[in-house]
Amino acid sequence: MFLGLIVIVGAALWKIDGAYANSCSNCQIINGATLNYDHIKNYNGHLLSDLAGPPTIPTTNSPIQMPSDISWALSYGNTSCYSSNTATCPANSAPSGATCSSSPTITGGGTPLKCWAFRWPVSVPVWETFGSLRVEAPGKGWEFLIYDNVDCSGGVMATIGPESVGACKAFTKQGIAFTARPLWNADP
């Protein structure tokens, strides 16, 4: 298969919003081919995607090298729900303390997320909330920004970085959404 100027062996498909880490199955770049996708360009030494519009170009280079394992997973704890309908999700219904699930709630496989909240698959808008959270990121190259609203607006409620990987961290209020941001030179 030939995409741009890269020769790729395997099945390569475009994914929504440029989730390139999930876009290839058993793919390999052959013998030093160059990178030249239509929506990936070099901006001051940073390979960035312009698929969703002009990228934000970092003003400085990160001192953190891209880890060999860029996967990540989050395990929620002390879960409850949020809805604008208070009869659907009563306030203050979640337990407190640092108790995180033993299995991941969401796995990222190396994909950055700008704002993500888990909406329950029901007919009214209901989102899962969490009072504690454990981050697993073997490469320790991620930062997670936690918000107490569904659209990641306003201030950050908490930040979990590489120093807290593997620890179940309790919050003073329920988190609803998060941003997964790589700490190496990548799409911000």
Residue 96 CB partners (closer than 8 Å, separation 6+)? 78, 131, 170
What is the rounded CA–CA span in Å between residue 64 and residue 143?
A: 12
The topology (CATH level 3) of 73-182 is: Gamma-B Crystallin; domain 1 (2.60.20)
Contact partners, residue 149, CB within 8 Å, separation at least 6: 176, 177
Specify the pLDDT at position 6. Answer: 35
Q: What is the residue type of 126? A: V
- Distance between CA atoms of 128 and 82, rounded to whole angstroms? 6
Q: Domain segments of the chain: what residues?
A: 2-49, 73-182
- Please give the model's pTM, rounded to 2 decimal places: 0.69
- Taking residues 96-115, what's their average pLDDT? 82
- The pLDDT tens digits of the residues spanning 115-174 come to 999 988 888 889 899 999 999 999 999 999 999 999 999 999 999 999 999 999 999 899
Torsion of CA 100, 106, 107, 112, to 10 degrees: -110
Query: Distance (Å, rounded) from C-alpha 153 to C-alpha 74?
Result: 21
CA neighbor of 103 nearest in space, from 141, 70, 77, 140: 77
- The least confident of 81-85, 93-97, 101-105 is 93-97
User: Which pLDDT tens digit goes with each residue over 21-31?
Assistant: 555 555 555 55
User: Residue 106 — pLDDT band, cuts 50, 70, 90?
Assistant: confident
